[in-house]
Amino acid sequence: MAATVAGLAVNVVTLVMTVFAVRGLLLQSAQQVTHRVTASGAGSVAAGGSIGRAVTGNSSRLSGPAPTALPPSAASTGPVEASGPKSVAAGGSIGEVVTGDGNSP
């Protein structure tokens, strides 16, 4: 009798732990948002995260390293779209953008 009760208790604890694990997985997947990232203009750039440097201009001469892109944030940004010619869009931060033609430092 005691063995049956102990076995039942173990089964109940296992069931409760499984329910909590599944609940955690469902909540985690519900928090993940799919972002639509599109770049449709000629020479446009779009990124779902951060961009260190984006250069869309022609004949640009740059010196020095690109700024470091910041780590992604936990906040959802929604769709990211760069739709005009030489446009730039990012779901995170942008360190530097060069969109004109013939730029030099």
Clarify whether residues 2 and 42 are in a common domain: no
Clarify whether residues 27 and 43 are in a common domain: no
For residue 43, the enclosing domain spans: 35-61+78-105
Q: Looking at residue 76, what is its pLDDT?
A: 55
Clarify whether residues 52 and 95 are in a common domain: yes
Residues forming beta bridges with residue 54, ordered by sequence position = 97
Clarify whether residues 105 and 94 are in a common domain: yes
> 3-state SS of the chain: helix, strand, coil percent to 5?
30, 20, 50
User: Which segments in the chain show pLDDT lower than 50?
Assistant: none
Q: Looking at residue 72, what is its pLDDT?
A: 65
